[in-house]
Structure 1
Amino acid sequence: MKKRARVIYNPTSGRELIKKNLADVLQILENAGYVTSAHATTPEAGDAKREAELAVADGYDLVVAAGGDGTINEVINGIAEQPSRPKVGIIPTGTTNDFARALHVPRDVIKATEIIAAGQSVAMDIGKANDTYFINIGGGGRLTELTYDVPSKLKTMLGQLAYYLKGIEMLPSFKATKVKIEYDDGFFEGEAMFFLLGLTNSIGGFEKIAPDAKLDDGKFSLIVVKKVNLPEFIRLITLAIRGDHIKEPNVIYVKSEKVVVTSEEKMLINLDGELGGETPMTFQNLNQHIEFFANVEEIPASDLDVKYEEQFTIDQ
């Protein structure tokens, strides 16, 4: 019996690249042995999540999430709770595509589909924040609000530059928040500019912010930037882009399986670039929870906790 694949795609993402190439995407998957079908997401909140839930209930072997990190996040939220989870392929057409970058999946629609068709996959950690799942990053603080403060039209026109421009605009408003952040080996209590939880080493398009992040070790890379003045804050951000921030006295950088964040004032939580609620929030790493198709030859051994021969599988 042939395997079945369900493609859930955002028709407006990446200047409608998926929509324009959908026939070719389905043909490549058909040639790889799948019976295929597709669903175009609507602007209605949670549409991709509901469609992924239906795909699991219908017994699909493969679910392909095509769009930006937000679309992939929704699809994962429709799959993660299920006791039997299909493998997941991604076709990235968003602004930053952090998760695809970690899996070394190219932005070219056809090449990304060919990686899925090649059949190599890796079991990846995902995060759970209270009752919501995320695949790449969780965080809180004014800086992390950038991704949902940037209008969609501006992201479409300017891509990642839109985030930089918005960040410059927001710089004067950055301020610290009084928080308590508990992690496996300790806690921080005081004022912080922001905190980040990375599941991969690619955050906001930069690959050195969580330099030793692994895709499958069951731990977050936790970064906390303590209260600093504006010039020092700008200096730390510059260091972070180069990966030179982790030993700074105003930065906490640790690995942790579980993180609990509480705050006296309202702190919004960013999950994969979308608004994910507010504190209090408990973050839990779910070790090797979902299997994703990836460009396995390009993933450095240092990004993985499990040996190459044990971790990667090839479907026949």
Structure 2
Amino acid sequence: MLRRSLNSDFTEVNTMEAAGKKLLLVINPVSGKKLGRQYSKMIIDKFSEAGFSVTCIFTTVNENAYDMTMKRGKEFDLVVCVGGDGTLKETVCAVMKLENDMPIGYIPMGSTNDFAHSVGIPDKVEKAVQAIIDGEPRAVDMGQFGDNVFVYVAGFGNYTAISYSASQKLKNIFGKNAYYMQAVKEFFHMKGYHARIEADGEVFEDDYFYGEASNSYSVGGIPVLHNIGVRFDDGKHELVLIKMFHGPKQLASMFRSLIKKDITDNDLVVFRHCDNIRFMFDEPTAFTLDGEFGGEQTDIQVKTIKHAVHIITAQPLPVEDAPEVEAEEEKETVES
């Protein structure tokens, strides 16, 4: 039975008649194109019909998904969050803090939904709900960034600020295209970021266009991390470093790699599978964590938290074979 507030908006909804597991449904009503509230009744009905006892709450300016999951999470058998990557991160952080290993379902409604696409969670709301009903909890790694946790990417360099600086109004209207619009604006302000990176005993030092520790096939809606052996439960993150290009030939080579969705054979790119990465900079450098501002860092440690949480998916997690990693000097060099 649905309970309504005096202003006729759903505030909290319980379908206590359903027998079975207790499900906490946390909806961010302003994610993506602000469709969370519109879909809420359908989501509740489908879970209830499947036998779940559903309690639905909406995030507010004062209470996000982390706050609400921390407050109510121990009462439930599983939590399902509805929103973008930020909403998922908040939910993950709360479940890890609660230490009760509660399975997490995710219905993506953000602008890019990189993590959902990577692990095979459907875009369509009804299909995402059904995937949770039919699915199984699967152990997934998370990242430790200093004292913070991230779900799928910690990155620095050019274009990383786009994810949190692009207008929310534009993101609501244009989705991930809002990021591309912002990228065009920043094209003529690109620069190199001098960094020293230690990764599982190896050391890399150069001027970098971009760098990241990630656990995803795509970042910013661009699926360029296929074919490098990404696995979501192997206790490793992928270190990807793109050296600053000099001249039109190197720039063109990078664009070709992006178009082919394969960066592994580009001499500007270094990639490794690591569980311990240290980023060091000469000056404070901004990071993005799952599309949110991660602070300015001069020395930061990134570690993999193996099997940190269980995400519900209908299909087993994708598996790619890792390619052989060539030494940097063995790659074909593109002259500037």
TM-score by length of 2: 0.84
In structure 2, C-alpha distance between the alignment counterparts of 1:238 and 1:149, rounded to whole Å: 27
How far is 1:270 from its partner? 0.6
In structure 2, C-alpha distance between the alignment counterparts of 1:135 and 1:241, rounded to whole Å: 26
Aligned residues: 301
How far is 1:9 from its partner? 1.0
In structure 2, C-alpha distance between the alignment counterparts of 1:196 and 1:234, rounded to whole Å: 21
For residue 313 of structure 2, what is the aligned residue in structure 1? 294
Equivalent position SS for 2:161? helix
For residue 311 of structure 1, what is the aligned residue in structure 2? none
For residue 219 of structure 1, what is the aligned residue in structure 2? 236
Equivalent position SS for 2:112? coil
Are the counterparts in 2 of residues 129 and 284 from structure 1 also a CA contact under 8 Å?
yes
For residue 9 of structure 2, what is the aligned residue in structure 1? none
For residue 85 of structure 2, what is the aligned residue in structure 1? 69
Residues 58-83 of structure 1 show CA distances to partners (whole Å, capped at 9, x for unaligned) of 33211111011111111112222332
Residue 161 in structure 1 maps to residue 180 in structure 2:
no
How far is 1:230 from its partner? 5.9
Q: For structure 1, which runs of at least 5 residues remain unmatched after alignment?
A: 305-316
Residue 34 in structure 1 maps to residue 52 in structure 2:
yes
Larger-Rg structure: 2
Are the counterparts in 2 of residues 7 and 37 from structure 1 also a CA contact under 8 Å?
yes
Task: Determine which structure has the larger helix proportion and give its number.
Answer: 1
Name the amino acid aligned to 1:21.
Y
For residue 289 of structure 2, what is the aligned residue in structure 1? 271
Residue 134 in structure 1 maps to residue 150 in structure 2:
yes
For residue 124 of structure 2, what is the aligned residue in structure 1? 108
For residue 14 of structure 2, what is the aligned residue in structure 1? none
In structure 1, C-alpha distance between the alignment counterparts of 2:194 and 2:72, rounded to whole Å: 42
Residues 175-232 of structure 1 show CA distances to partners (whole Å, capped at 9, x for unaligned) of 0111111111401123211101221212222333253211111111111112223633
In structure 1, C-alpha distance between the alignment counterparts of 2:285 and 2:259, rounded to whole Å: 24
Name the amino acid aligned to 1:226.
K
Tell me which stretches of 4 or more aligned residues in structure 1 moved more than 6 Å. none
Q: Which moved more, 1:117-126 or 1:232-241?
A: 232-241
Q: 2:188 aligns with which of 157, 161, 172?
A: 172
Residues 219-276 of structure 1 show CA distances to partners (whole Å, capped at 9, x for unaligned) of 1111111222363345414413423322322211111001111211121111111111
Name the amino acid aligned to 1:19.
R
How far is 1:287 from its partner? 1.1
For residue 93 of structure 1, what is the aligned residue in structure 2? 109
Name the amino acid aligned to 2:305.
L
Q: Which moved more, 1:62-71 or 1:193-202?
A: 193-202
Name the amino acid aligned to 1:286.
I
Name the amino acid aligned to 2:260.
R
Residue 2 in structure 1 maps to residue 20 in structure 2:
yes
Q: For structure 2, which runs of at least 5 residues remain unmatched after alignment?
A: 1-18, 323-336
Name the amino acid aligned to 2:47.
L
Q: Which moved more, 1:89-98 or 1:286-295?
A: 286-295
Residues 129-167 of structure 1 show CA distances to partners (whole Å, capped at 9, x for unaligned) of 111111111101122111112111111111111111111
Quote the RMSD (CA, aligned, Å): 2.0
